[in-house]
A and B are shown apart, each in its own frame.
Chain A
């Protein structure tokens, strides 16, 4: 069965710290992986990754995909309290247009 596993499940850091969130998947031949940030409401889109080894950046956030080793990481540098959220990754099931989501990493950034 296709599976997406995120680690750690939860994380508490202080403002200014750098964090690395992991997403590993057991979905072969997938074509895209998505990262989302979910606060109290709907997930908001962060990144879509389709190619291995190409880093995507947006401000203090960056993400990279390793298709060979079947994982992705999301880095957040100089964390702020506003980064506190659940971070979700999702992998597309090959040949379909549906995504399997991991259960998320809950990040709490303390002032």
Chain B
């Protein structure tokens, strides 16, 4: 079974631009969560989607948004990029919501903002 895939793997953008990252969950998984990982802050939760609805949101500004499609694939968008948005963005999928479901991570998209 294929794992979680994320595209693109690397991205360089300039301040003020916007970016869209994509995540394809493991087949059959319906929940997708997004995380930002930086050396200083570690892994921080961005948001979680289940059945095309955002169910949870972390403490990030409104410039960070996302959506989930009917096939469970998810996209994350960051508008008006800032230097501080440079990070590894990870998505994780699980079969369903709830604490009994294990999360599996994709390889991440490394975003560099110059």
Contact = CB atoms under 8 A, between A and B. Distances in A.
Interface string B70-111: 000000000000000000001000000111101111111000
A101 interface: yes
Interface stretch (B14-22, B48-56, B61-69): B48-56
Q: Size range of the interface on B?
A: 20 to 34
Contacts of B58: 98
A97 B43 contact: no
Given A32-B100, A101-B42, A103-B42, A42 B105 contact: yes
Interface in B24-48: 31, 33, 35, 42-45, 48
14 contacts: A31-B99, A42-B4, A42-B90, A45-B103, A50-B99, A50-B100, A90-B43, A97-B31, A97-B56, A98-B33, A98-B48, A99-B33, A99-B103, A100-B45
Given A98-B33, A98-B58, 14 more contacts: A31-B99, A41-B107, A41-B108, A42-B4, A43-B43, A45-B105, A48-B100, A50-B100, A88-B43, A90-B43, A101-B44, A101-B45, A102-B42, A103-B42
